[in-house]
Amino acid sequence: MRVILLTHTPEPDKVVAAAARLCYSPHSGAELMDNFRPEQVREFLSRLISLGHYSPFEHAVFTFAVDGVSRALSHQLVRHRIASYSQKSQRYVQEKAFDYITPPAIAQNEEQKRVFDNLMQEIARYYAAAVAAGIPAEDARYMLPNATATNLVITMNARSLHNFFRLRCCERAQAEIRQLARKMLKEAKQAAPALFAVAGPSCVTEGVCHEGDMSCGRVQASARGNRI
C-alpha cells in the first residue's frame, strides 16, 4: 500500500482559523489572513477542537493518491459520504494478471494462504480465458474477487478526515483500512499539524471508547455504538 498526499488547500491551518476568526471578528473577508500570527492560528484551532466546533474545518481540502489496496477496502470507503473518489476502472482496464491483497489472517496461515493463492490464480486464468473468448472486460470483471488490488484518488475536507480517522484508526477497524487511515493521518499531520494535532481514534483523542462490548480494551467502553 502506498499513500501520497497529492495536494491540499494552501496554508490549511491558517485558512480554517481565518474562517473561524470571521465568526468573532468585525474584519472583512479580505482582512482575515492579515496579521494572523502562527500562535494565534494554533490558539484558534485548539479552541475550535475543544468546543467540538468543526464546521470551519470544511474549508480545508486534502487529496490523496492511494495505490495497492483491495476492492474490499474501497467498498468500505463509500460509507464515508462527504468525500470524492476516483478508482481504477475494471471496465476499461483489463485484469488478466491482477494483483491481489492477502488479509493478515490468511497470510499467517500457511495452508490457507496456499489455498487462497491457488484460487486467485485460478480466477485469473478464467478471467483471461473469458476475455480471450470475446467477453467484454466489463462483464468478465464479475468473476474478480474483493481481494483484487486497485488504485484510488480520495479527496476529503478536514472535518470528514477527522471523522474518518476517529473510526478507521480504531483497533476495531479492519486491518487494511486501519493501515490506510494511519498513513493518511501521517500525511495530513505533516501538511496541517495544528488541524490534526488531535486526530485519531476516540480512545486516543478523548480517552473514551464508543465500541461498547466490542471494545479492544484499551480504555473502558463509555458508550455503545455501531461501526459506520
Predicted confidence (pLDDT) per residue in 181-205, tens digit: 999 999 999 999 999 999 999 888 8
The pTM score is 0.89
Q: Is 168 one of the annotated active-site residues of the chain? A: yes
Delineate the domains of the chain, giving CATH numbers in brackets: 2-85+149-201 (3.30.1360.170), 93-143 (no CATH)
Crossing angle (nearest 10°) for helices 175-191 and 158-168: 140
Residues whose CB is less than 8 angstroms from the CB of residue 207 and which lie 6 or more positions away in sequence, other chains included: 219
- Among residues 168, 178, 218, 227, which one is catalytic? 168
pLDDT band per the 50, 70, 90 thresholds, residue 24 = confident
CA distance 85 to 74: 9
Query: Any idea which of 31-35, 50-54, 66-70, 120-124 has the lowest mean pLDDT?
Result: 31-35
pLDDT for residue 40 is more than 50: yes
Predicted confidence (pLDDT) per residue in 89-117, tens digit: 999 999 999 999 999 999 999 999 999 99
